[in-house]
Amino acid sequence: MVTMEKGDDAPILRCEDISLRFGGVNALLDITFEVNKGEILSIIGPNGAGKTCIINTITGFYHPWQGKIYFKEREITGLPPHKICKLGIARTFQNIELFTGLSVLDNLLAARHLRLKPNLLSNAIYFGLAQREEIKERRIVEDIIDFLEMEAIRKQEVKTLPYGQRKRVELGRALALEPEVMLLDEPTAGMNVEEKEEMVRFILDINEERGTTIVLIEHDMDIVMDISERVIVFDFGNKIAEGLPKEITKDERVIKAYLGEK
Amino acid sequence: MVALQPSDMDTYPKFLVRNRQIWREKVALRRKDRGIWQNYTWEDCYAQVEQVCLGLAQLGLKPGDKVSLIGDDEPEGFWAEAAIQSAGGIVVAMWSDSIASEAAYIINHSDSRFVIAEDQEQVDKILEIQRDIPKVQKVIYWDQKGMRKYDDPILMSYDELKGLGKTYGDGHPGIFEQFVTGGKGTDIAQISYTSGTASLPKGAVITHHAIIASSRRMQEFGPLRQGEDVITTLPSASVFHQWFAGYNYLCGAVINFPEEPETLMQDYREISPRFILITPRQWQSLSSMTQIRISDAGFLKGLFCRLFLPVGYKIVDLRASGRRAGLLWKLLYRLGDVLVFGPLRDKLGLIKTKYAATGSAFLSPEFFRFFHAIGIDLIQIYGSIEAGVVSMHPRDDMNIESVGRICNGVKIQISGEQEILVGGETLFSGYYKNPEKNHQVIGDGWFRTGDSGYINDRGHLFYTDRIENLEELSNGHRCRLGYIEGKLQFSRFIKDGMVIGGKKRDYLSAIINIDFDSIGKWAETNQVPYTTFADLSQKEEVTELIRKELQRVNSTLPEGSRIGKFVLLHKEFDADEGELTRTRKLRRAFLQDRYKDLIEAIYGDKKEMPVVTEVRYRDGRRGTIETNLKIRSVYEEMEGNHSEKGKC
């Protein structure tokens, strides 16, 4: 487990002048922001503001038309998703993207694949090296199952699970990558109050106990104001505000973007 | 090392010391963790208990001090119990789902100096009431998860406590066993708070001697050998948990702790325990789960079930009447066992089970018939916190109508009012700080159980009902309300029911909680659309379904004491609202007061009753639910026909 102290000087993730276009549509315009090590940063904004776009751009699913992205001061712009993932940036999806035909356990183990050191010979023999490696991976995955309280569904196929639990599995899969930064795209969407509380507790625990930096896209303002250290507000592909939660709630532009003109 | 003589073996900690000497590296208990069953030997358990005990002593625990314990049933809690008792302390176990105010009451009333809690959830509960429990000096928790940011000086982790104990033990070799041998059987081992169906919980004081005597009674009728598996699902707040622990300490049976309450079914299957003791509630849900599965089964499986279940029932009934089954029936049953019952028992994780027991509350004979029919020889253990183990079914002397044969050494008599009175060594020593009540229930050395019953010539005890549940109707019929409620619960569509009678009324009525899972599933397959629990409960189709169930139950009841009208309640009875006890028994007096208007409406021949109920959530928020409850008759011809009512 990687534990980091909060407040290291250099930002762990930095976006510089990111612009993203689809045809003539500007999805993102000159977006610049930094994510500090160990913080919980929320990105909020109305639908279509470009929140998911920025996550897709950071994780390499979209390539920005202009601008640069740095992870731990290393440029990662244009790298393919799997490489970015390997560097230590994991994400969850707004519309759950799991292997529905696999069990919860296998979904998490699949994520561990990235950290495996395959060797044709030892894998063919299995006993010895490969077996030890498998036990090690299983232990890590079982820790996550314990952490997210998924013991009872460990062997169930994902397609048989209700929505709230799938969200949890997806969080687990992201966690299995042992990332330094986790980008969570609306982790509590469509959940009831109790499920939301549980999810928030998990996010806080991940942040506190594992020291993972969290970037959170979220619509529930109570959650955002409650757990984030800083908030960034998007509107029509622009970053219109950035600051502490209590500053954001008073910001004129934010109120306008959310509630319209007076 | 202090040598213990067999005659000195009067506390569980003494047995622990003995077991470590004779069984050392043999497995004592097992827990499922990270998906794997992890073994703990007697050496391991000894070390755990020693460290916790000495840690507590270091914190200042003196003989006679009370320690409250709150959490799910896990090895840490189990060791903590032995550790507290080793140090001469008294265990006060609480239900893990107790709300904060209940916990505060028990901690205060018992004068607890320490609290041992499972995890963040329980710690939060204790911290919330910290100001109300000034006598508590330390709160110790064993699950670290989520506890990183807690810095309240009252908190201490289990590992810290063990570290403290280890250092102390290293400096004082042999001190732990000195503590243990200093304990006596007549010392108080535990204060068990009763679920209090009528009032605030009362703390029953129990000595080591009483616990061990009860445990020996269980072992006499259901003996186990060293190394045989048992599984624990009873929270430490249940007194059955204490008696059950005797299998571990006295016989060396391996106690298995399931991974989580939710994984219970899988864990049963993996262990398939020799002895399983679960509550009537749990047997009820096993039964309804099985019935749902049978109704969901494919054509062939369903056919086999429909074919062979009656065979099972036939065999049970033959056995009950003392007749021998003919060769044909025996052959058919064998076939049924291979095709249906065996696989069913395997699914339930009971394939190796020798003793399947229920205790702590009444379970209707219907359930016994059902489980016996599928080859699970369910037995009843009758006992209570106050009385200890009183009777139990030996495997070779089964009678599903009785609550077992009276155990050896039990002093028992039936009073003039048919009340069961119990005496003997398993009796408790009185309620803590409650002399008035003590005088009332145990004044003359006989404990008044409050249960009505009788004994037959073969030494079997029969339980009629709680005395308070015996009511006479205006037509002169005496009704056993609790007994009828038990019958209702056998329907997989009914989760709970309260039957109402009374001297001024000429028929019974029932307020029913539908079984949401079961009826929800039924509604899906029968294309009955619904939104919430309240909505589903008032559906015409559901009313019809329950009406049929009630007619079936009525057919087994004597005429004159049958259910005439019923209401399907818009919500479930809830322990958090005080409607049920923590052991999920009805708090009848409270319920009758709470649903006073509804009951009046039923007997006032109203058709509907608007209700607004206040709901209290766990976090303290309050809300209201408004519903129009329909009042129905069990027999449709009765609808609107007042004069017919008495004939039901």
Q: What is the CATH number of the domain that holds B72?
A: 3.40.50.12780
Of B34, B148, B263, the CB nearest to A152: B263
Residue at a domain's end among B277, B304, B321:
B277
On whether residue B427 sits in a domain, the answer given is no
- The beta-carbon neighbor of A139 closest among B34, B148, B149 is B34
Count how many domains chain B has: 2
Q: Give CA–CA dist A172/A174, Å, rounded.
A: 5
pLDDT at site A215: 96
pLDDT at position B644, please?
42
Chain A residues touching B149 at Cβ < 8 A? 208
Is B44 a member of any domain? yes
pLDDT tens-place string over residues A194-229? 889 999 999 999 998 889 999 999 988 889 999 999
- Is residue A216 a contact partner of residue A40, using CB atoms and an 8 Å limit? yes
Please state, in angstroms and as integers, the Cα–Cα distance from residue B584 to each residue in A185, B97, B265, following that order: 41, 12, 21
Cα–Cα nearest to B319, from B329, B331, B304, B328: B329
pLDDT of residue B643: 40
Q: Is the pLDDT of residue A253 over 90?
A: no
State the DSSP string of B373-425: HTT--EEEEEEETTTEEEEE--TTS--TTSS-EEPTT-EEEE-TTSEEEEEST
Interchain proximity B145–A147, CB inside 8 Å:
yes
Give the separation between CA B395 and CA B374, rounded to whole angstroms.
16
Residues from chain A contacting residue B35 (CB–CB below 8 Å): 138, 142, 145, 151, 154
- Please tell me the predicted confidence (pLDDT) of residue B26: 97
- For the segment A107-114, the average pLDDT, to the nearest whole number, is 89
**Residue B386: inside a domain, yes or no?**
no
Instruction: Mark the ranges of chain B whose per-residue pLDDT is less than 50.
Output: 1, 640-648
A147 interaction partners in chain B (CB closer than 8 Å): 145
- Domain edge (last residue) among B246, B277, B308: B277
Q: How far apart are CA B630 and CA B540, in angstroms?
A: 10
Is ipTM > 0.85 here?
no
Q: Please report where in the chains the tokens 């994991």 appear, as a residue.
A: A90
Query: Does A11 score more than 50 pLDDT?
Result: yes
CATH number of residue B484's parent domain: 3.30.300.30
Q: What is the pLDDT of residue A6?
A: 46
| pLDDT, position B186 | 95
Looking at residue A8, its pLDDT comes to 54
Q: Three-class SS of residue B70?
A: strand
Nearest residue, CB atoms, B263 vs list A138, A143, A151: A151
- pLDDT-based confidence at residue A37 (cuts at 50, 70, 90): very high
Question: Model pTM greater than 0.90?
Answer: no
Cβ contacts of residue B214 below 8 Å, gap of 6+? Answer: B242, B243, B246, B383, B388, B389, B426
Region A124-138: mean pLDDT is 85
Asked if B287 contacts B295 with a C-beta cutoff of 8 angstroms, the reply is no
Phi and psi (nearest 5°) for B127?
-65, -35
CB atoms within 10 A of CB A137: 18
Considering only CB atoms, which chain B residues are within 8 Å of A142? 34-35
Residues of A in contact with B259 (CB under 8 A): 151
Q: Which of B277, B312, B330 is the last residue of a domain?
A: B277
For residues B501 and B564, what is the distance between their CA atoms, to the nearest angstrom?
Answer: 10
Chain A to chain B, count of Cβ pairs less than 8 Å apart?
A: 30
CA distance B86 to B176: 8
In A, which residues are within 8 Å of B151 by CB distance?
A: none
Q: What is the pLDDT of residue B618?
A: 60
**Cβ separation of A143 and B34 shorter than 8 Å?**
yes
Could you tell me which residues are beta bridge partners of residue B141?
B117, B157
Range of the domain at B225: 6-277
Sign of CA dihedral B176, B181, B185, B187: negative
Q: Which of B34, B262, B266 sits opposite A146 (nearest CB)?
A: B34
Q: Is the residue at B228 inside a domain?
A: yes
Is the residue at B193 inside a domain? yes
Q: How far apart are CA A138 and CA A151, in angstroms?
A: 13
Distance CA B359, CA B383 (A): 7
pLDDT of residue B235: 79
- Classify domain A9-88+179-262 at the CATH superfamily level: P-loop containing nucleotide triphosphate hydrolases (3.40.50.300)
Q: Which residue has the higher pLDDT, A204 or A130?
A: A204
Q: Kindly report the backbone phi and psi dihedral angles of residue B31, in degrees, each rounded to the nearest multiple of 5, phi listed first.
A: -135, 150
Q: What is the DSSP string of B598-618?
A: HHHHHHTT-SEEEEEEEEE-T
Provide the sign of the torsion angle of the four alpha carbons B553, B555, B559, B560, taken in this order.
positive
Kindly list the domain boundaries of chain A, sorted by start residue.
Answer: 9-88+179-262, 99-178
Question: Cα–Cα distance between A153 and A165 in angstroms, integer?
Answer: 9
Nearest to A142 among B34, B260, B263 (CB): B34
Distance, in angstroms, between B617 CA and closest chain A CA? Answer: 11
pLDDT for the residue numbered A178: 92
Nearest CA in chain A to B263: A152
DSSP assigned state of B187: S
pLDDT tens per residue, range A167-192: 999 999 999 999 999 999 999 988 88
Retrieve residue A165's tokens: 């639990």
